[in-house]
Amino acid sequence: MPSEQPLFFGLGNDRLFGMLHVPEGTPRHGLVICQALAEEKLWSHRVFVSLARELAKHGIAVLRFDFRGEGESDLDFEQAGIASRIDDAVRAAEVLLERQPTLTGISFLGHRLGGAIAAAAAARLGSRAQGLLVWDPLPSGHEYLLQLLRSNLAKQMARDGKAPRTRQALIVALEAGETVLVDGYGIGRVLYRELIALELPALLEALECPALLIAAEEGPPKASTAPRAPYARRANIQHASAREPAFWRESKELCGRAPNMTALSMQWLERQWT
Amino acid sequence: MDMTRRIVTLRNSHGHALHCMLDEPAGGAVGAGFAAVLLCPGIKTRLGPHRLYRKLAQSFVARGIPVLRVDFHGLGDSEGELPENRLDAYYDQVQFGRHVDDVRSALDWLQSECGIQRCIVGGLCGGAITGLLAASDPRIAAVYAIGLPVALEARSGATAEHMTRGELVSKRVVYLRKVLRLRSWLRLLSMQSDYKLIWRMLSSALRRRAARRKPSAQLAEVPLPASSPAEDPNPKFPPAFFGFLASGRPALLIFSERDRLRWHFEEKFAQPWANALEPYKSQLSIVVIPDADHILGSPESVAEAGRQTGAWLDACFLSSASPVARVVNSAAAANPMRFIPVA
């Protein structure tokens, strides 16, 4: 039976919370999961718990963890940025390697913005990073910021029937150092600055290990799963799509699993190791 | 603030490991007069939306009250699976008490591991109603409820899960006619029947029967409403609420001004039962936070909720005049090292 060990690990003066899923016997491989941000993390949390359990049953040691500023880890959300999250992911990989000394390297799995963070962490980890999986990749931090701000606008509309602070006004406020609220999370200057500079294609360029990017398709599977242009530059980067609901957003469905993305990911991981 | 945080893994009566977090004041939790137990709001884990529970925990810990934040089975990091595949169906199950057993397990753990026998229990929305439903346990000293829901979530729709009661009744008549048909039984046994619909019909009938039985069987003292209550009430709510009040324990009910649940409570419960609630006014502290939304999604709302929580704790648990404080003080007399007065 695989076991699950909740733990805290240190990074400088801060503590990060993690959950280590240990397979029975010697692990064949290791995987660090970098989840999405803020409410997307909460809505999707159970999918990654199920994924980690499934992988542990197949001999893979998995470390899920909370970035600083999220979950049970130290720092307020406003204090953490992209750079701190990349540091956290690298540290999580080191912790997994320390705790499972038979492993010579690990792979990363990142979801949504966690995909970009996982890509940066994998590049920094060098040869010890053996693979990268990205679920529902976000090509640009700036685009993602606009998605977040849409939530702020929707809240204004729900509250007042209008949105007196337009998206542009919110960006001006962020530029001026104001904290802007999105679903109760404060986006401060650090996260804003680092978010708008984040480009997944550039991060993938620096990657040594193979990667699989899986786009979530909410409708029926499309005939062509041709990669989007910005990602298609390197031979070690593959693309796929999987039919899954947007389990990281509030919906009528209660999603505890992402079976299609899980199956694709496991097939790909197995291929990397054989 | 001097607060430490440690991981607690306990097991519910089904053997599921529940991974919880204990926020402790200086000196730890062992021997504290009271603990607070914060319960998952919907599926938002032991943290709540935007880590709300970590923020609210500070009001308790500042007063020497440790806070155990619980991941229910099937949620957060805990073991177990939720059978529902729709959120509203799950929310309804929470309102029927799905996680009451998990609460008892948390109380057991606090009692056995920390020697704490009196707890303030609740949380936001689903955490609030679960705390109330669990309050038949005498170890629950008070209910702490933010956005307490009184009506059920599931709405009408085309699928079996969302059929109205009238639709389910008419379907049940059709199915009853099939009971004596061999072909119907073959369909049932060969997995061709709509099990979801059958389950919904049966559970709906059982729920209605249970709701009809409740006033005479479970809580004869549940008063009748002065005016007709809403059509979508949670049948478990009035018995639980009046049963709790009849025991003389206090509750803090925090509502957000811009939350529909505030109006649900007011119009679907407080108004119809206004006369019946009158004798219990002194036990109930009801606060509406101006301009707040359901999740207390602004720092101002969180700060006000924290302030109201602190004031309520001071009045109910830390003032020597309050009846609850007498219990605390007697516990403190037994263990004078651990009772921490308000700063």
Query: Is the minimum CB–CB distance between A16 and chain B shorter than 8 Å?
Result: no
Closest chain A CA to residue B298? A184
Looking at A153, A171, A197, which one is the last position of a domain? A197
* Interface predicted TM-score of the whole assembly (ipTM), two decimals: 0.93
Name A135's bridge partners. Answer: A111, A214
Question: Over the stretch B19-31, which tens digit does the pLDDT of each residue have?
Answer: 999 999 998 999 8
Task: Assess B270–A contact: CB distance below 8 Å, yes or no.
Answer: no
What pLDDT is stored for residue B171 in this prediction? 53
Cα gap A113→A136, rounded to integer Å? 9
pLDDT tens, position by position, A5-44: 999 999 999 999 999 999 999 999 999 999 999 999 999 9
**pTM, two decimal places:** 0.85
pLDDT tens profile A146-182: 999 999 999 888 878 888 899 999 999 999 999 999 9
Asked whether the beta carbons of B61 and B3 are under 8 A apart, the reply is yes
The neighbouring-strand residues paired with A37 are none
Identify the domain boundary among A151, A178, A197. A197
Total domains in chain A come to 2
CATH topology of domain B3-153+224-334: Rossmann fold (3.40.50)
Note the pLDDT tens digit of each residue in B294-305: 999 999 999 999
Same domain, A132 and A170: no
Which residues from chain A sit within 8 angstroms of residue B297, using beta carbons? Answer: 155, 181, 183-184
pLDDT at A164: 87
The closest alpha carbon to B234, from B157, B129, B123, B85, belongs to B129
Q: Are A192 and A214 within one domain? A: no
Tell me the per-residue pLDDT of A34-66, one tens digit each, with 9 for 90 and over: 999 999 999 999 999 999 999 999 999 999 999
Residue A176, min C-alpha distance to chain B (Å): 19
The domain boundary residue, chosen from A197, A213, A237? A197
User: In the block, which residue shows the tokens 């926020």?
Assistant: B23
| A246, A110: one domain | yes
Together in a domain, A193 and A116:
no
Residue to substitute from B9, B50, B85, B90, interface A, most A β-carbons within 10 A: B50
pLDDT of residue B328: 41
Label the pairing between strands B67-70 and B35-39. Answer: parallel
- For chain B, what is the mean pLDDT? 84
Angle at A232 between CA A229 and CA A233, to 5 degrees: 115
Q: What is the pLDDT of residues B266-288, one digit of tens each?
A: 999 999 999 999 999 999 999 99
* C-alpha–C-alpha distance, residues A204 and A122, integer Å: 9
Of residues B343 and B109, more confidently modeled: B109
If asked whether residues A86 and A115 sit together in one domain, one would say yes
Q: Model confidence over B167-192: pLDDT tens digits? A: 454 456 556 656 766 777 777 777 66
Label residue B325 by pLDDT band (50, 70, 90): very low
Tokens of A80: 């953490």
Contact B8, B109 (CB under 8 A): yes
* Domain around A103: 3-139+199-273
- CB-based contacts of B266: which residues, under 8 Å, 6+ apart? none
- Partner residue facing A45 (CB), from B45, B51, B90: B45
Nearest-Cα distance to chain B for A202, in Å, is 30
For residue B298, give the nearest of A17, A181, A250 by CB distance: A181
- Domain ranges in chain B are 3-153+224-334, 160-217
- Does residue A216 share a domain with residue A113? yes
Closest CA to A180 of A39, A36, A77: A77
pLDDT for B156: 35
Comparing CA positions, the residue from B341, B334, B342, B343 lying closest to residue B115 is B334
Q: Is the pLDDT of residue B220 over 60?
A: no
Q: How confident is the model at residue B154 (pLDDT cuts 50, 70, 90)?
A: low
Contact B157/A at CB under 8 A: no
Are residues A203 and A114 part of one domain? yes
- A158 shares a domain with A109: no
Determine contact: A159 vs chain B, CB below 8 A: yes
Same structural domain, A220 and A156: no
Whether residues A41 and A67 share a domain: the answer is yes
Residue from the list A43, A250, A253 with its beta carbon closest to the beta carbon of B85: A253
- Do residue A184 and residue B81 have CB atoms under 8 angstroms apart? no
Check residue A197 and give its pLDDT.
96
